Structure 1
Amino acid sequence: MLLTVGSVSAFAQDKPEDTEVWEPVPKIVTTGKSFTDAPSDAIILFDGKNLDEWVSDKDPSKPAPWPVAKGIFTVKKSEGGIVTKRKFTNYQLHLEWQVPSNITGTGQARGNSGLFLAQLGRGDNGYELQILDSYNNKTYVNGQAGSIYKQFAPLANPNKKPGEWQTYDVVWTAPTFNEDGTVKTPAKVTAFLNGVLVQNATEPLGPTQYIGKPSYRKHGAAPIYIQSHGDPSEPLSFRNIWIREL
């Protein structure tokens, strides 16, 4: 290989430290004993004791109405969903959920709930990451657990049997908007179900729509919502929920 005099001279002047970056220094985060444990900078949304970080979706002036016992809380279908008191923009979220072992029903009527990553308002529940018993339970693929509901099917189906605990680890990047309400940058969702990647920097087409095509609406920071679907299935349970703002 031939090198000109100029290129040899330029290479000789380069130093390893020319491409070293020393500041800002990343903050120190202390991890738990396992990846499911909340790190030191996490906000604990549920630690098994109470639902103080949540309120009723039906009436945000009232506390979350779902019962807490033995370190878990359980959907109470007659009371509607629950929503966080705090609003978030970009975050990392950990949540564990369980379909009861005596689940009945088929398809979408089998352990149906939803983790809404940004609720836009009462009755406008935002962007749904589906919760459903998808272990040997046939339904439309963009409606099974791990899907961005009615938009993107999961990349895999790592669901466990009813009665076993399932784990979601989600990175949510909120959309940004121009002054006129048009989308500047779309939302992004990266999600792991039971440690398996099911959404890889997926860009939702807008908030979830049950009927029709989704489209974006300008919004800012938003709470997280857990749905009470109201189907005849036995109620789901949740535990160990924490979040890191990014």
Structure 2
Amino acid sequence: MPIMKKIAYSIFALVASANMATAQAKHEDTEFYTPVPPVVTPTSANFAAPPKDAVVLFDGKSLNNWVTTNDTTKPATWDVSGGVMTVNKTGGNIQTKQSFQDYQLHIEWKIPSNITGTSQGRGNSGLFLASIGKGDAGYELQIMDSYNNPTYVNGQAGSVYKQYAPLVNPNLPPGQWQSYDVAWKAPRFNEDGSLLSPARVTVFFNGILVQNNVELKGPTQYVGQPSYKKHNPANPIKLQAHGDKSEPISFRNIWIRPA
């Protein structure tokens, strides 16, 4: 076979092999069910008031600091009542108007007491620590009902979705307010687009450590393995309006301290 034909055939084979691998990838490939994090019962969540130097992202009164993710020229349209904002699934994901790089974040959330469904279809949402595109693109800390609700461990509440299961399961029952306290360090990239330093995150869930300075493998991927591609280290923070059919989640007392 002439050399040019050999080269062309080799390239074709590599492309075909890559396409086949992508076509065969399934979301189940990155879902793990063991080891199951031990259940730890917190005395209560951490309902910390904003420090004086904090930026208040939700004060219980309005969504002035939020926009719609798929069209950031439009205001967020979730429901606000009684000091609480509740997911409006027709409004889609929402994200902050401001972008943040490294920070400390506090957020409180509640699964409705009349929640239904099982596994990932039970009170599913997500806190995206950096939103790097429309839809569900970014780095997700999972929010859902994981109180007596088995699912894959790297998809339960407190997990870095599809990457790290929580160290323990400190979920409170549906109908009770819960809290995340997050320390986030954004990834950095070299001029040529290569990774200089990966993202890192520490998470306290209801006052209990569930992620201890873990090194993220890249942005969240539902199918396939995560990997890094150069992006701005400063990005909005996003909340997910998940497509499951269960009752929507509520949020309150959201504030951030840029590092």
TM-score (norm 1): 0.85
Equivalent residue, structure 1, for 2:109: 97
**CA-atom RMSD in angstroms:** 1.0
Counterpart CA distance in 2 for 1:119 and 1:213 is 18
Equivalent residue, structure 2, for 1:78: 90
Equivalent residue, structure 2, for 1:53: 65
Equivalent residue, structure 1, for 2:126: 114
Does residue 1:243 correspond to 2:252, yes or no? no
CA deviations 1:164-219 (Å, max 9, x no partner) are 00100000000111111111111000000000000000111000000000001111
1:123 Cα offset (Å): 3.1
Question: Tell me, which stretches of 5 or more residues in structure 1 are unaligned?
Answer: 1-33
Judging changes above 3 Å, is the alpha-carbon distance between structure 1 residues 35 and 123 closer, same or farther for their aligned structure 2 residues? Answer: closer
Question: Tell me, which stretches of 5 or more residues in structure 2 are unaligned?
Answer: 1-45
Counterpart CA distance in 1 for 2:68 and 2:95 is 6
The one-letter amino acid paired with 1:110 is: R
1:121 Cα offset (Å): 1.2
* Greater Cα radius of gyration, structure 1 or 2: 1
Equivalent residue, structure 2, for 1:227: 240
Equivalent runs, 1:57-206 vs 2, <5 Å: 57-123=69-135, 125-206=137-218
1:62 Cα offset (Å): 1.1
Equivalent residue, structure 2, for 1:23: none
SS in 2 for 1:121: coil
Counterpart CA distance in 1 for 2:129 and 2:156 is 17
Counterpart CA distance in 2 for 1:85 and 1:75 is 18
The one-letter amino acid paired with 1:227 is: Q
Counterpart CA distance in 1 for 2:78 and 2:93 is 9
1:163 Cα offset (Å): 0.2
CA contact (8 A) 1:129 1:149 kept: yes
TM-score (norm 2): 0.81
Counterpart CA distance in 2 for 1:91 and 1:223 is 12
1:104 Cα offset (Å): 0.2
CA deviations 1:105-131 (Å, max 9, x no partner) are 000000000000001111352100000
Counterpart CA distance in 2 for 1:123 and 1:41 is 31
Equivalent runs, 1:201-216 vs 2, <5 Å: 201-216=213-228
Equivalent residue, structure 2, for 1:21: none
1:229 Cα offset (Å): 0.5
Larger proportion of helix:
2
Counterpart CA distance in 1 for 2:86 and 2:93 is 11
CA contact (8 A) 2:59 2:83 kept: yes
1:35 Cα offset (Å): 6.2
CA contact (8 A) 2:69 2:135 kept: no
1:79 Cα offset (Å): 1.3
Counterpart CA distance in 1 for 2:170 and 2:101 is 28
The one-letter amino acid paired with 2:241 is: S
Number of corresponding residues: 213
**Higher-RCO chain (CA-CA 8 Å, sequence separation at least 6):** 2
Report % sequence identity.
65
1:59 Cα offset (Å): 1.7
Stretches of 4+ moved more than 4 A in 1? Answer: none
